[in-house]
Amino acid sequence: MTGFIQQIINGLSIGSVYALMAVGYSLVYSIMNFSNFAHGGIIMFGAYFGFFFMTLYKFPFSIAFIASGICAALMAILVERVAYKPLRDRRAPFLYFIISAMGVSIFLENIIIATIGPTFRTYPEVFSTQPIKIGNMAIGRIDLTMFIISAVFLVLLIYLIDYTKIGKAIQATSFNMKASALMGINTDFIILLVFGLGGFLAGLAGVLFGMKYTVYPQIGNITLKSFIAAVFGGLGSLQGAVIGSVLLGIIETITSGYISSQYRDLIAFVLLIFILVVRPMGLMGKVTEDKA
Amino acid sequence: MLKVRNLHVFYGGIHALKGINVEVKQGEIVTIIGSNGAGKSTLLNTITGIVKPKEGEIFYKDKKLSLIPHKIVANGICQVPEGRLVFANLTVKDNLLLGAYLRKDKAEINKDLQNVYEIFPRLKEREKQMAGTLSGGEQQMLAIGRALMGRPEIMLLDEPSLGLAPLLVDTIFKIILDIKKMGKTILLVEQNAFKALEIADRAYVLEQGRITLEGSAKDIAANPKVQEAYLGKRVTE
Ligand SMILES: Nc1ncnc2c1ncn2[C@@H]1O[C@H](COP(=O)(O)OP(=O)(O)OP(=O)(O)O)[C@@H](O)[C@H]1O
Ligand SMILES: [Mg+2]
């Protein structure tokens, strides 16, 4: 029983970091209506930013963490300006955006391989590997930290989107860009803001993953998991993305713990296909339509 | 107040507006009538910056108007778009508050909110409901109310009576007259030429991207060509 609870806690911890990635991905999707495959590249850069801030510049963890988020946010904004805005201005078909996003993703991965090299790098030890003991359960300090930090930022994001004026403007823009512009909303700024927010959270997620595992140029592939989680929860719904991520995290740890870690991804992807077939709008996806 | 000079708009190869001149004076209701695809919505979208013109100018209070939508709204120009485009994913109240997005005067915004609820009591009842669940007529009320929340000086209405039951059409036109009495200027695009000409001061007829007739609403309504093309059914009744 304690083993099971421990798996759940590990799942929550991994799932909450998936959620950090999934909400940014979902936000961009809800405004731009395309899958931003460059998101993984931003996560990878976040992981490297954190690594170099801590090893080369000897920043304390908290500063390295936030600075990595900010740098990742600026990068996400830069990607939007360079790779997507010209397409938006030309009203290019969505396929062009997806191809551009894939191009950016491959570019980001390879620029790291070419400059820094393909080797795996390990973060300095920030949190002691000595687990915290509660009864006869042992919880890893890193896992606990990951969970708490992610939860705090997720709550802040959901508050921003659901309860502030700028958040309502983001929701309006995601529903209809023309109508939002007619309200006086600067939709171009909203797009930058959404890329910035998504990039910031992606940077944080990158540092957390880099800290828990290692840093390597393909670490961004982990976003595939957050895509699954976002679809699983219902694309465009932030709460859905969070719930989908946490469920995915728990399913993964339970599969690894009780079946085999070999089956982890297999089960996750089968689940995705199953959800798409049975409930295409996801767990929390809203079915809203514009009445003529 | 609003002057459109020699406006040309293209969608790729389609020449949608071919040198349009339109003027709207302070306090007037001006209507643009024309059949499907004449370019009426294109004209409104160009004024509000959603569509960029290839050639021509738009002046507002004798100054050249910006081409950027949110700056145009800040000037006091607001469009109620064709098909309402209410934010279905937000509540009725949030929709109305978004209409006041550029305003900072909280107390006055609240006052205007109560005013809109007075004009459209139905919206007050449905304040907390998602806008996507409103009926078509209620959505039209919401779209007009949302535009009023911005305290525009000039409102551009794109087919506000589209798809509404006759009784509701009358209500909407009565409200447009009330809005005029509030001191606002109105540019009204309508398929329902009969009703539009009834409340308008002046009118333009738009055909395939060109203005073919203009004059006082009375004269336009009396014009035999207009009667045949746009009011035909009514005259023989
Ligand atoms: N986004 C677009 N891309 C290409 N062509 C367009 C676009 N919008 C409008 N058009 C074309 O421009 C012309 C004018 O369209 P517009 O929507 O302005 O007509 P309208 O007078 O408002 O018609 P309706 O009464 O049916 O609303 C039409 O031929 C239309 O097909
Ligand atoms: Mg139209």
Residue A185 at interface with chain B, using a CB cutoff of 8 Å: yes
Test site for ligand 1: of B9, B10, B18, B40, most ligand atoms within 8 A of the Cβ: B40
Residue A291 lies in a domain: no
Average pLDDT over residues B163-169: 88
**Angle of CA points A263, A229, A180, to nearest 5°:** 165
Look at B139 and A178 and tell me if their CB atoms are within 8 Å: no
Residue B99 lies in a domain: no
Q: pLDDT at position A286, please? A: 55
Residues 6+ apart with CB under 8 A from A33: A94
Residue B89 at interface with chain A, using a CB cutoff of 8 Å: yes
Strand pairing class (B29-33; B185-190): parallel
Count how many domains chain A has: 1
E strand or H helix that includes residue B199:
helix B193-199
CATH number at residue A240: 1.10.3470
Residue B130 lies in a domain: no
**Angle of CA points A12, A18, A20, to nearest 5°:** 105
For B25-80, the pLDDT digits (tens) are 999 999 999 989 999 999 999 999 999 999 999 999 999 999 999 999 999 999 99
- Cα(A240)–Cα(A235) distance, rounded to whole angstroms? 7
Residue B194 lies in a domain: yes
Residue B103 lies in a domain: no
Asked if residue A88 has pLDDT above 80, the reply is yes
Residue A286 lies in a domain: no
For B199-231, the pLDDT digits (tens) are 999 999 999 999 999 999 999 999 988 888 877
Q: Number of A to B CB contacts under 8 A, please give it.
A: 85
Q: B202 φ, ψ to 5°?
A: -130, 165
Mean pLDDT taken over chain A: 89
B13 Cβ below 6 A of ligand 1: no
pLDDT band at A285 (very low <50, low <70, confident <90, very high): low
B14 Cβ below 6 A of ligand 1: yes
Ligand nearest the Cα of residue B32 is: 1
Tokens for A255, please give them. Answer: 């599969």
Cα dihedral A111, A113, A115, A119, rounded to 10, equals: 150
B residues 48..87 contacting A (CB < 8 A): 48-50, 69-70, 73-74, 78-79, 81, 83-87
Residue B163 lies in a domain: no
pLDDT band at B232 (very low <50, low <70, confident <90, very high): low
Residue B46 CA to ligand 1 centre (angstroms): 12
DSSP state of A215: B
Tokens for B138, please give them. Answer: 């209620």
Can you tell me whether residue A281 is helix, strand or coil? coil
Residues 6+ apart with CB under 8 A from A288: A175, B88, B89, B130, B132
For A233-278, the pLDDT digits (tens) are 877 788 888 988 998 899 888 888 888 888 888 887 887 788 778 8
B88 Cβ below 6 A of ligand 1: no
Do the beta carbons of residue A112 and residue A49 sit within 8 Å?
no
Nearest CA to ligand 1 atom 14: B39
Count how many domains chain B has: 1
**Nearest alpha carbon to residue A26 among A152, A176, A171, A178:** A171
Residue A158 CA to ligand 1 centre (angstroms): 39
The total of other beta-carbon atoms located within 10 Å of residue B227's CB is: 17
Cα dihedral A147, A153, A155, A159, rounded to 10, equals: -170
Q: pLDDT at position A278, please? A: 82
Q: pLDDT at position A229, please? A: 84
Whole-prediction pTM value?
0.91
Residue B130 at interface with chain A, using a CB cutoff of 8 Å: yes
**C-alpha dist (Å) from residue B17 to A111, A166, B44, B205:** 48, 36, 11, 13
Tokens for B210, please give them. Answer: 């060109």
Do the beta carbons of residue B80 and residue B157 sit within 8 Å?
yes
pLDDT band at A291 (very low <50, low <70, confident <90, very high): very low
Tell me what ipTM this predicted complex has: 0.92
Say how far residue B174 (Cα) sits from the centre of its chain.
14
For B174-205, the pLDDT digits (tens) are 999 999 999 999 999 998 898 999 999 999 99
Residue B152 lies in a domain: no
CATH number at residue B32: 3.40.50.300
Asked if residue A160 has pLDDT above 80, the reply is yes
Residues 6+ apart with CB under 8 A from A37: A98, A101, A102, A104, A105
Residue B109 at interface with chain A, using a CB cutoff of 8 Å: no
Pick from B89, B90, B161 the residue to mutate for testing the A interface (most A CBs within 10 Å): B89
Q: How far is A180 from chain B (nearest CA, A)?
A: 8
What secondary structure, in 3-state letters, does B154-197 show? EEEEECCCCCCCHHHHHHHHHHHHHHHHCCCEEEEEECCHHHHH
A27: left (phi over 0), alpha (psi -120 to 50) or beta: alpha
Residue type (1 letter), B66: S
B42 Cβ below 6 A of ligand 1: yes
Range of the structural domain that residue B31 is part of: 1-69+189-237
User: Which stretches of chain B are assigned E, i.e. beta strand?
Assistant: 2-11, 14-24, 29-33, 55-60, 63-64, 77-80, 154-158, 185-190, 202-207, 210-216
- Cα(A184)–Cα(A244) distance, rounded to whole angstroms? 34
Residue B213 lies in a domain: yes
Please name the member of B70, B130, B132 whose beta carbon is closest to the beta carbon of A181.
B70
**Nearest alpha carbon to residue B46 among B33, B55, B37:** B55
Residue A290 lies in a domain: no
Average pLDDT over residues A31-40: 89
Residues of chain B found within 8 Å of residue A281, distances taken between Cβ atoms = none
Range of the structural domain that residue A140 is part of: 2-278
B residues 7..46 contacting A (CB < 8 A): none
Tokens for A41, please give them. Answer: 């590249």
For A184-210, the pLDDT digits (tens) are 999 999 999 999 999 999 999 999 999
- Cα(A223)–Cα(A95) distance, rounded to whole angstroms? 20
Do the beta carbons of residue A123 and residue A51 sit within 8 Å?
yes
Please name the member of A181, A186, A291 whose beta carbon is closest to the beta carbon of B50.
A181
Helical H segments across chain A, by residue range: 2-32, 39-55, 61-79, 85-89, 94-115, 141-163, 165-175, 177-182, 187-212, 223-233, 238-258, 264-278
Residues of chain B found within 8 Å of residue A182, distances taken between Cβ atoms = 48, 50, 69, 73, 78-79, 81, 85
Residues 6+ apart with CB under 8 A from A38: A76, A79, A83, A101, A104, A105, A108
Residue A71 lies in a domain: yes
Residue B132 at interface with chain A, using a CB cutoff of 8 Å: yes
Pick from A162, A166, A183, A185 the residue to mutate for testing the B interface (most B CBs within 10 Å): A183
Residue B69 CA to ligand 1 centre (angstroms): 19
Q: In chain B, whose CA is at the least distance from the CA of A291?
A: B136
Residue A54 lies in a domain: yes
Asked if residue A78 has pLDDT above 50, the reply is yes
Asked if residue B105 has pLDDT above 90, the reply is yes
